[in-house]
């Protein structure tokens, strides 16, 4: 077994563990109040299935599917950061309408619910998935 194959297997394990843990956490937090909150749940569920498919088949088609889905992870993560940030801005302004500038930014980033940067985990998982399939060719 080559070093590249070992690294890919480790990346796949990290990816599956990260997606599983994040999916369980979001389900426990009941992250399903509206349509936009279903986006990470769907992405993570599809991610688990797609990476499992690629792990079992090793086909070029499954590698392309993983790559495409990981690009959606990146987009979903960026969109999630925006949604969390916007919700926090609205909440902070309700509590203190005079809050603006740097003070508002810090208040938003320090807020516990929703954590403004938490969706960044999708970006991280997307990058791991892209690394996992980087220059993948069917053997």
3-state secondary structure (DSSP) of residue 29? coil
What mean pLDDT, rounded, does the chain reach?
94
Q: What is the mean pLDDT of residues 88-115?
A: 93
pLDDT of residue 44: 98
Whether 113 is in a domain gets the answer yes
Structure confidence at residue 113 as a pLDDT band (50, 70, 90): confident
Which residue shows structure tokens 């792990």?
Answer: 55
> For the chain, how far is it from start to end, CA to CA, in angstroms?
13
- Domain holding 108, by residue range, is 3-132
Instruction: Please tell me the predicted confidence (pLDDT) of residue 131.
Output: 96
Please check whether residue 138 lies inside any domain of the structure.
Answer: no
Asked whether residue 91 carries a pLDDT value surpassing 70, the answer given is yes
Over residues 56-76, the mean pLDDT reads 96
pLDDT reported for residue 139: 46
**List of residues 6+ apart from 137 with CB closer than 8 A:** 60
Is the pLDDT at 138 greater than 60, yes or no? no
Query: What whole-number distance in Å separates Cα of residue 93 and Cα of residue 83?
Result: 15
Q: Kindly state whether residue 139 falls inside one of the protein's structural domains.
A: no
137 within some domain: no
Q: Say how many C-beta atoms besides its own lie within 10 A of residue 109's C-beta.
A: 12
Work out the average pLDDT over 76-84.
Answer: 96
Q: Is 29 contained in some domain? A: yes
- Using alpha carbons, select from 42, 51, 43 the residue that is nearest to residue 17: 51
* Higher pLDDT pick, 139 / 95: 95
Give the H or E element holding residue 124: helix 120-132
Determine contact, residues 26/17, Cβ cutoff 8 Å.
Answer: no
Summarize the confidence of residues 37-51 as an average pLDDT. 97
As for how many domains the chain has, the answer is: 1
Q: What local confidence, expressed as pLDDT, does residue 102 receive? A: 96
Region 9-31 average pLDDT: 97
State if pTM tops 0.85.
Answer: yes
Question: 81 falls in which pLDDT band (50, 70, 90)?
Answer: very high
At residue 118's C-alpha, the angle toward residues 112 and 122, to 5°, is 165
Q: Are 126 and 74 in contact (CB under 8 A)?
A: yes
């Amino acid at each position: 077994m080559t070093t590249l194959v070992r690294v890919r297997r480790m990346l796949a394990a990290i990816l599956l563990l990260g997606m599983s843990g994040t999916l369980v956490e979001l389900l426990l937090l009941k992250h399903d109040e509206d349509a936009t909150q279903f986006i990470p749940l769907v992405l993570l569920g599809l991610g688990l299935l797609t990476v499992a498919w690629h792990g079992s088949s090793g086909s070029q088609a499954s590698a392309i599917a993983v790559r495409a889905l990981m690009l959606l992870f990146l987009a979903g993560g960026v969109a999630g950061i925006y949604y969390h940030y916007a919700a926090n801005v609205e909440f902070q302004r309700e509590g203190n309408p005079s809050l603006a500038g740097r003070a508002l930014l810090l208040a938003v980033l320090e807020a516990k619910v929703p954590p403004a940067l938490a969706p960044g985990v999708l970006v991280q998982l997307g990058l791991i998935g892209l690394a996992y399939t980087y220059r993948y060719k069917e053997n």
